[in-house]
Structure 1
Amino acid sequence: MNTKALTDTVMNATRDRAMPATPTRQRRVVRRLPVQKNWPPAVIAAAQFGIFVALLALWEVAADLKVIDPFFWSQPSTIWSTLVVFFTEGNAFTDIVYTFESTLIGFVLGTVAGALLGMSFWWSPNYARVMQPYVVCLESIPKLALAPLIVLVFGMGIGSKVAIAIALTIVVSTLTAYAGVRAVDKDQERLFYSIGASRWQVFSKLVVPSCVPWIISILRVNIGLALTGSIVGEFVASEHGLGRTILYAGSTYEISLVWVAVLVLATLSMVMYVIVGWIEKVLRKGVDR
Structure 2
Amino acid sequence: MSTTTVTDAGVGAVLSTPAPPAARRAATPRKVRRLPVQKAWPIQIILAAQLGLLVGGVALWEAAAEYGWIDAFFWSRPTAIWATLLTFFESGNAFVDISYTFRSTLMGFFLGTVGGATLGLSFWWSRNYAAIMQPYIICFESLPKLALAPLVILVFGMDLASKVAIATALTLVVSTLTAYAGVRAIDPDGERLFYSLGASRWQVFRKLVVPACIPWIISILRVNIGLALTGSIVGEFIASQHGLGRTIMYAGQTYEIALVWVAVLVLATLSIVMYVGVSWLERVLRKGVTH
User: What is the letter of the counterpart of residue 154 of structure 1?
Assistant: F
Q: Tell me the residue number matched to 2:225.
A: 223
Q: Distance in 2 between matches of 1:271 and 1:98?
A: 15
Question: Helix, strand or coil for the counterpart of 1:257?
Answer: helix
- State the shift of 1:35 in Å: 3.8
Q: Tell me the residue number matched to 2:158.
A: 156
Question: Helix, strand or coil for the counterpart of 1:218?
Answer: helix
Out of 248, 253, 256, the residue aligned to residue 254 of structure 1 is 256
User: What is the letter of the counterpart of residue 59 of structure 2?
Assistant: A
Out of 49, 56, 59, the residue aligned to residue 51 of structure 2 is 49
Out of 81, 95, 99, the residue aligned to residue 93 of structure 1 is 95
Question: Helix, strand or coil for the counterpart of 1:217?
Answer: helix
- Which has the larger displacement, 158-167 or 196-205? 196-205
User: What is the letter of the counterpart of residue 76 of structure 2?
Assistant: S
- State the shift of 1:50 in Å: 1.2
User: What is the letter of the counterpart of residue 174 of structure 1?
Assistant: T
TM-score by length of 2: 0.91
Q: Distance in 2 between matches of 1:181 and 1:18?
A: 60
Q: Tell me the residue number matched to 1:270.
A: 272
Q: Tell me the residue number matched to 1:78.
A: 80
Q: Distance in 2 between matches of 1:286 and 1:18?
A: 63
Change (3 A) 1:50 1:122: same
Structure 1 gaps of 5+ residues are none
Q: Distance in 2 between matches of 1:8 and 1:195?
A: 78
- Which has the larger displacement, 253-262 or 36-45? 36-45
Matches within 5 A, 1:128-167: 128-167=130-169
1:109-130 deviation digits (Å, cap 9, x = unpaired): 1111111111111111111111
Out of 108, 113, 116, the residue aligned to residue 115 of structure 2 is 113
Q: Tell me the residue number matched to 1:182.
A: 184
Change (3 A) 1:12 1:194: same
Out of 231, 238, 241, the residue aligned to residue 239 of structure 1 is 241
User: What is the letter of the counterpart of residue 145 of structure 2?
Assistant: K
- State the shift of 1:55 in Å: 1.0
User: What is the letter of the counterpart of residue 146 of structure 1?
Assistant: L
Change (3 A) 1:202 1:18: closer
Change (3 A) 1:181 1:4: farther
Question: Helix, strand or coil for the counterpart of 1:116?
Answer: helix
Out of 61, 66, 69, the residue aligned to residue 67 of structure 1 is 69
- Which has the larger displacement, 208-217 or 260-269? 208-217
Change (3 A) 1:5 1:123: farther
Q: Distance in 1 between matches of 2:161 and 2:257?
A: 29
Question: Helix, strand or coil for the counterpart of 1:184?
Answer: coil
Q: Tell me the residue number matched to 2:199.
A: 197
- State the shift of 1:195 in Å: 2.3
Change (3 A) 1:105 1:5: farther
- State the shift of 1:200 in Å: 1.4
Q: Tell me the residue number matched to 1:126.
A: 128
Structure 2 gaps of 5+ residues are none
Q: Distance in 1 between matches of 2:245 and 2:142?
A: 25
Name the % identity: 69
- State the shift of 1:265 in Å: 0.5
Q: Distance in 2 between matches of 1:141 and 1:117?
A: 19
Q: Tell me the residue number matched to 1:281.
A: 283
1:146-192 deviation digits (Å, cap 9, x = unpaired): 11111110010110010001100110111011111111111111122
1:75-113 deviation digits (Å, cap 9, x = unpaired): 000000000000011411111111111111111111111
- Which has the larger displacement, 215-224 or 78-87? 215-224
Question: Helix, strand or coil for the counterpart of 1:96?
Answer: helix
Q: Distance in 2 between matches of 1:194 and 1:128?
A: 25
